[in-house]
Chain A
Amino acid sequence: MSKFTDRLEDDLEQIADRATSSPTAWKAIQDRMADPAAYDVREIIMLTDEREIAEEVARGRRRTWLAVAAAVVLLAVAAGVILGNRDSAEVNIADQPTTEDPIDESLDEAPTTTVAPTTTTTTTTTTEPERTVGEILSGSALDPGPHETDVLGMSLQLDVFEPMRTAWIRPGEFQLTDQETQTKFIVIARIGGWPTLEESSDPTFGQQGAIAPVDVDAWIADNQMIASRRDDTTIDGRPAVVYDVRTDPEVEGSFSDQGKQNLVYSVAEPSFDPATAAARDRTIVPQMSIRLWLVEVDGFAPIAIFAVAAPGPPDTPDISSGWLDEFEATILPTIQLGPDGPPKPLS
């Protein structure tokens, strides 16, 4: 075992030590087990093979608009002993011969450290008020119906009409994606700035975008993006502008593991911190279609609402082609914003 891999093990252990287990986890699992309708939808998420996803999508069409009746946990009472031990004897897999490849043999050495069992004993009683509007929580599934969040610093309510889940939620922004295909996205964020092409092309860029948050036109022009629509409109009575935009594959940008990408926006923070800026911007790639509404917030950072259609598996690349129109016709009119206010602090 080398010094390097020793360090790797120590550092990974340190990262894992930051994980915590909810004291109500067992109750939450039992609730999920008692809700087969919700599970039918969730099952799709675990599939990793794109062909399997496509087959499941075809079968899953009949489940669209399935009413998922389960409510969020109202009374959670959990007591349990949580013992984590990765050395369970259930992984009873014969070691592969390693002599055919000396490098592989060294990789198959038994590591010097193993995951230490962790024991936590907790007894907690919590009572949550009954909700008629579901709160949007990180990593959660959203049943069809109304949902709300204050993660933007201003309250926001919207209805969803098919099972969705949060792909990302943090102060200043959140993303939802559909559970069935994971190609239809809703992103709502407080905008701190739009990046120039030069900033967008720099993979190490870690500042607030230099283009003013209200100036979407300058962002589109500077990044040489393709805009096929620009209309004045209103969202919940507030002035807004809507755009259909795509990245131009001929224009240079930085590259991700999905190919060329363009930065979209920097999330607004009350006290902008360059140290965290790198994790506060978002990208798009040419394969995506985007409809963007920029909503004015008097005296504070504006709100951008994105409907994003990402390509599906190779045999159904256009699976979400109707998503932008569907979002505009169904979910967008249900959006309600609270009184004007600043973005929420990062921590």
Chain B
Amino acid sequence: MTAAAAEAERRGVLEELFNVEYSGMVRLAYTLVGSNAEAEDLVQDSFVEVSRRLAEIDKPGAYLRSAVVSRCRSALRRRRVMDRHRPEPPHSLTSGAGELWDVLGRLPEDQRIVVVLRYYGGYRSSEIAKIVDIPSATARSHLRRGLAALRKDLDS
């Protein structure tokens, strides 16, 4: 295969990945970081990361998800340096979802990520452990604590 053909094939794989995953990844990142512009920026960075390592990656989609979540985690850590609160909820949310937005924003970032991956992403805790790169038991522990905190705050 010529270098040009190989590059065309690589671009094709990335474009297919973009078509399949981009919108869903932005939705996931937005649910975590609460800013649309930041979510897109993080997801686009993650695509560049995938493109650079495509030759070494067996499962680009799975790698992309891990990269997005990793960047969201990093963004949340950066933000806590000076932000006391996360962004306000979008105006069009129902009161229940707006309340969840606030409570979710007060969770430690690891619990927040695990809860969102579980109840928005639909992943099992064993899958979450792989995506976030933590032991399964830790993922379940974050999930249990996060759920307990949400239940307490949302029920009160």
Q: List residues of A whose CB falls within 8 A of some B CB.
A: 4-5, 7-22, 25-26, 28-29, 32-33, 39, 42-43, 45-48, 80-88, 90-96, 101, 103-104, 107-108, 110-111, 113-115, 117-118, 120, 137-140, 167-168, 175, 177, 182, 185, 187, 256-258, 261, 263-264, 276, 278-279, 281-284, 288, 308, 310
Contacts and interface: CB of A to CB of B under 8 A. Distances in A.
Interface centre among A82, A137, A139, A282 (most CB of B within 10 A): A139
B97 A11 contact: yes
Nearest to A119: B23
Contacts of B130: 91, 93
B150 A8 contact: yes
Nearest to A138: B37
Interface of B: 14-15, 18-31, 35-42, 44-49, 51-52, 59-62, 65, 67, 70-71, 73-74, 77-90, 92-94, 96-97, 100-101, 108, 115-116, 118-127, 129-131, 136, 140, 143-144, 147, 150-151, 154
Contacts of A185: 81-82
Nearest to B122: A114
Contacts of B88: 276, 279
A16 B27 contact: yes
A86 B121 contact: yes
A21 B35 CA distance: 12
Nearest to B34: A15
The 7 closest A-B pairs by CB, nearest first: A84-B24, A84-B23, A90-B61, A19-B30, A139-B41, A96-B126, A138-B37
A120 B27 contact: no
Interface centre among A46, A83, A94, A279 (most CB of B within 10 A): A46
A7 B67 CA distance: 28
Q: Is the interface of A mostly helix, strand, loop or mixed?
A: mixed
16 contacts: A7-B96, A11-B94, A11-B96, A12-B100, A15-B30, A33-B51, A45-B74, A81-B19, A82-B19, A85-B21, A86-B24, A90-B62, A107-B125, A167-B79, A264-B82, A278-B84
Nearest to A101: B140
B92 to A, nearest CB: 7
A12 B52 contact: no
Contact of A308 (B39, B62, B82): B82
A115 B30 contact: no
A48 B74 contact: yes
Nearest to B15: A26
Given A84-B25, A168-B79, A308-B81, 13 more contacts: A15-B31, A15-B120, A22-B40, A29-B18, A33-B14, A46-B49, A46-B71, A46-B74, A84-B23, A86-B24, A185-B82, A281-B84, A283-B82
A46 B97 contact: no
Contacts of B30: 15-16, 18-19
Contacts of A5: 119, 147
B83 A168 contact: yes
Contacts, number: 249
A244 B45 CA distance: 36
Contacts of B93: 14-15, 18
A288 B136 CA distance: 35
A170 to B, nearest CB: 8
B85 A278 contact: yes
A177 B140 CA distance: 33
Contacts of A288: 81
Contacts of B24: 84-86, 115, 117-118
B93 to A, nearest CB: 6
B66 to A, nearest CB: 10
Contact of B125 (A108, A168, A283): A108
Nearest to A311: B81
B119 A107 contact: no
A93 B23 contact: no
Nearest to B33: A139
B118 A19 contact: no
